Structure 1
Amino acid sequence: MLQRYELLYEAGLVAEAARDGIACHTTPAPRLGQAMRQDHRRILATGIARLRAKITYRPVVFELMPPNFTLLDLQRSVEALAGQLLHKQNFRRLVEQQELVEETGQMAEATGGRPAKLFRFRADILQERAYAGTKPPLARA
């Protein structure tokens, strides 16, 4: 993410580049994205890049989730972090196989359709896997 932003900046394709006096050397191109104050877009790109790198070896997505969530909410959060869409059944199968979550026994009513089951992260899974020496959760998501 950060590398892409830096390339767009150097090419003069983001509004911040024009603001900082970096001109596009070819014909004027449309500015991509919306400008942010100072270097906030660069800071945001850095944060997203670090989160994306971290989700491969640590379940950081659960630190961003509320205590109880639906599997669709979890999938949308992972998709937002990863920057790509995931196959619904494969995502659910992966979460189930890795035993990352457990049902709360409650239902989410405000889903726009039928009520959805609520889940919570199994924090104890991290200790279990640390002792077993296995790969951390969501390493394949």
Structure 2
Amino acid sequence: MNSFKKHPIRKWTWRSPNNVIKTEIHFIITNQKNIIKDVSVLNKFNTGSDHRLVRVRVSIDVKLERQKQLVNKGKTINIESLREKNEEFKMALQERLTQTTEELMTVAEEIGGMTERGKHNSKLSVETRNLLTKKSDEDRK
């Protein structure tokens, strides 16, 4: 894609060191021409170079692109084979779930540590528990 039907002064992207030759040498490459709405050269942005920035305006159908990403790439599960191997599937799944559960418990123990059985960490802070105790003592009086 080039800078479409722009005035020549707005199309050049490179100038020669002597400022005589100005030409459009930078382009936008795409395989979806229909999403490109405009290509322009930013002539007021100083890059400190003999090149100018090229800007492209695109219009993307987000819903369509999301659907393309979610579409299974032509593979589906063979349901008939799965039904025939039902017991084998159940055993393999149970083994994987057990391994996963054990891994989760190991990581939880490493990160969070362990407490003695019967001694649960309260979700309430010590200060909140003290206030509740004080309130219940006042209510009894």
TM interval, shorter chain, is under 0.3
TM norm structure 2:
0.23
Greater length-normalized contact order (CA 8 Å, ≥ 6 residues apart): 1
TM norm structure 1:
0.23
